[in-house]
């Protein structure tokens, strides 16, 4: 029985990721009706804590894992390390004596407990007073109810605003007194003004545009890179890393570009530029763009697009340009010379003959835990769901290594479809 596991970030007030919630679904049934929830949770525990891939998905941070009633009262949480897990009680669980006793026993052993999808109503329910985290559903509550939770429980529990979908909701929740946040607010664009793109970002956009032209102009590219001190530093640091094992340090931008070569530059530069566009925004935005890029690339060959794995990598990488630039995606993409089917896919244009859309829909549905939509899109793209699940873990690992600056320190576990053409030049 296949198991699909994805992760959703949980942020603090500074928009730093402090934990992940693991989203899961057994692949044995087309829709998850709850009948196998105990088995599914047990499998998530096994896959997350007792397998290398699971540890990578956890990202070295605490994880929130959903616990149904039977597993909760049966003591299933006690097989997990208390410092690495938050036991999340599903909203369907009521605070009967057995559940209350199970929570008290867990807290006595230093486990942390969260109450999921909390909607204030029955103030006599004992569970809100027993948990460490109250997750308040911002789609199912009014602002008055959200503030009422702060007033009643702000001194006893850490309040987490979940399903926060806009920057405005995030700011309101933070002002109310919520300290943790979950949702897609970080990934939605905030149009900063009608002015043009700032000069330093415009220069990076020009570099991306140069990368799309056939036949790289090394002289023009070198001129653009030299205008970016941070980018120049990263380029020299990269080429002088242990990955290349050069005998004499390279100190010239032009020499570094020649050493890496055109293929390496086309692969390396977009990643570094995109991760540098995130000023003032959560790092998770860049992580997510990299995850998408790598997953698209890894899925390309299986879906019959091996010859376009580079295009699919850019498809995922550029999918967050609107949020990073604070400009509409159509406007930003209009400055780049991308293939029309990539632009159409990113803008959601369902045109006949666009074969990239099903693969892209598979990637987005998987990361959001929309398993039924993922399965339908994967089938349309000619992909197996378990294949997507396996490569998702690899994409997460790769993105975390890139953001942490550690990718050059170890070899890739799985080569990309074009790795032999690139002579194993990695980011």
Contacts of 151 (CB under 8 A, 6+ apart): none
Q: What is the DSSP letter of 248?
A: S
Q: Evaluate whether 191 touches 327 at the Cβ level (below 8 Å).
A: yes
The residue ranges of the chain whose pLDDT is under 50 are 1, 27-35, 193-197, 406-427
Q: What is the pLDDT of residue 379?
A: 92
Q: What is the CA radius of gyration of the chain?
A: 23
Percent of the chain at pLDDT exceeding 90: 30
Query: Cβ distance 266 to 255 under 8 Å?
Result: no
Q: Which token pair is 392?
A: 């998702």
Helix or strand holding residue 211 (H, E)? helix 199-211
DSSP summary character for residue 312: H
Say if CB 346 and CB 332 are below 8 A apart.
no
pTM score above 0.85: no
Q: What is d(CA 126, CA 113) in angstroms, rounded to the nearest whole number?
A: 13
Alpha-carbon distance of 330 to 326, in angstroms, equals 12
> How far is residue 246's CA from residue 198's CA, in Å, rounded to a whole number?
37
User: d(Cα 262, Cα 160) in Å, to the nearest integer?
Assistant: 47
The dihedral through the CA atoms of 142, 148, 150, 156 has a sign that is negative
pLDDT digits (tens, 9 = 90+) for 195-210: 444 555 667 777 877 7
CA dist 225 → 246, 286, 356 (Å): 22, 20, 32
Look at residue 235 in the predicted model and tell me its pLDDT.
80
Backbone angles phi, psi at 373, to 5 degrees: -65, -35
What's the pLDDT at 1? 45
**DSSP class of 194:** S
Supply the DSSP string of 115-143, one letter for each residue: EEEE----TT-SGGGT-SEEEEETTTS-H
Quote the CA–CA distance of 138 and 118 in Å, as a whole number.
10
Distance CA(363)–CA(372), nearest Å, equals 13
Question: Domains in the chain, please, with CATH?
Answer: 3-187 (3.20.20.450), 199-409 (1.10.3210.10)
DSSP structural state of residue 41: H
Q: Which two tokens stand for residue 63?
A: 């994880």
Residues in the chain: 427
Task: Give tens-digit pLDDT for 68-100.
Answer: 888 888 888 888 888 889 999 988 888 889 999
pLDDT score for 247? 77
């Amino acid at each position: 029985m296949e198991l699909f596991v994805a992760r959703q970030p949980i942020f603090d007030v500074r928009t730093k990721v402090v934990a992940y919630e693991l989203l899961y679904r057994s692949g044995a049934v087309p829709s998850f009706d709850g009948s196998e929830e105990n088995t599914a949770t047990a499998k998530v525990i096994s896959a997350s804590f007792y397998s290398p891939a699971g540890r990578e998905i956890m990202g070295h941070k605490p994880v929130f894992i959903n616990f149904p009633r039977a597993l909760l009262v049966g003591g299933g949480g006690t097989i997990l390390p208390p410092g690495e897990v938050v036991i999340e009680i599903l909203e369907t669980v009521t605070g009967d004596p057995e559940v209350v006793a199970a929570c008290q026993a867990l807290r006595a052993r230093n486990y942390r407990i969260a109450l999921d999808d909390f909607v204030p109503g029955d103030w006599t329910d004992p569970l809100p007073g027993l948990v460490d985290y109250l997750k308040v559903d911002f789609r199912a509550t009014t602002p008055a109810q959200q503030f009422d939770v702060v007033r009643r429980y702000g001194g006893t529990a850490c309040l987490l605003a979940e399903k926060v979908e806009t920057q405005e909701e995030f700011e309101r929740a933070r002002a109310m007194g919520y300290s943790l946040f979950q949702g897609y607010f970080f990934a939605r664009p905030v149009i900063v003004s009608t002015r043009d793109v700032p000069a330093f970002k415009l220069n990076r956009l020009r570099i991306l545009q140069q990368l799309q032209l056939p036949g790289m102009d090394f002289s023009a590219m070198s001129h653009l890179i030299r205008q970016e001190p941070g980018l120049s530093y990263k380029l020299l640091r990269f080429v002088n890393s242990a990955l290349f094992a050069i005998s004499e340090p390279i100190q010239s931008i032009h020499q570094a570009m020649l050493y890496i070569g055109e293929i390496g530059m086309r692969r390396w530069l977009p990643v570094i530029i995109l991760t540098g566009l995130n000023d003032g925004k959560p790092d998770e935005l860049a992580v997510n763009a990299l995850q998408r890029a790598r997953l698209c690339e890894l899925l390309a060959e299986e879906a019959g697009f091996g010859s376009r794995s580079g295009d699919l990598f850019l498809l995922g990488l550029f999918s967050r340009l609107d949020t990073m630039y604070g400009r509409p995606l159509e406007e930003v993409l209009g400055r780049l010379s991308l293939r029309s089917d990539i632009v159409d896919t990113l803008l959601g244009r369902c045109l006949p003959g666009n074969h990239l859309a099903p693969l892209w829909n598979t990637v987005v549905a998987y990361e959001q835990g929309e398993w039924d939509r993922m399965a339908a899109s994967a089938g349309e793209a000619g992909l197996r769901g378990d294949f997507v699940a396996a490569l998702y873990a690899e994409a997460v690992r790769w993105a975390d290594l890139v953001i942490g600056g550690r990718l050059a320190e170890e070899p890739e576990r799985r080569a990309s479809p074009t790795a032999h053409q690139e002579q194993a030049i990695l980011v």
